[in-house]
Amino acid sequence: SCAKILAKPLLFASDGDDEGMGVAFRRVPRWGWFGVGTTADGVAKIVLPQPTKRKVAQQLRAFRTNVAQDLAEACAEDIARYLQGEPVDLQGFPIDWCFVPAAARPILQRLRETVPRGQTVSYKALARACGKLRGARLVGWAMAVNPVPLLVPCHRVVRSDGTLGGFRGGGLLKQ
């Protein structure tokens, strides 16, 4: 449950109680290293490409190779293919929503359910779809705290004028 997971300091980083956690790393030419952290309930964290594996590992130090390893490996493999330009459907991977702030969950869930590959949505339009008539900044915040970019496609959210806006993975990855 979310309460059990979130009650652990550093998300199980040092207490030895890491059952149900998994981690996988991949290096993709042109992009660098990325990683996937999982729990028994789904993908919990994706670290977008960094120049070194060490930088990725630091952000995934809470996750360990264990029973959710198959999910971590499968997700990492598909993301690697996606980053290489292959048409990959990332929608089938379960997400552990415990790692998403409560206020961001409905926004990220709506985005994942309604904006397919090849389409974009504005911050304003997504806010309205979530019942937040003046919530474009809230949507921007939700995109910024999204722990599973690519699975929840925050890179598909653009400004109302169609320009890209921000993305922690950089403009090239957002494109």
Catalytic residue among 75, 98, 130, 154: 154
User: Is the Cα torsion angle 175, 26, 97, 167 positive or negative in sign?
Assistant: negative
Measure the CA–CA gap between 64 and 57, rounded to whole angstroms: 10
Residues in the chain: 175
38: phi then psi, degrees, rounded to nearest 5: -130, 160
Active site residue 154: yes
What Å distances lie between residue 6 and 96, 106, 112, 116, CA to CA?
A: 12, 19, 23, 31
Q: Give the catalytic positions in this structure.
A: 154
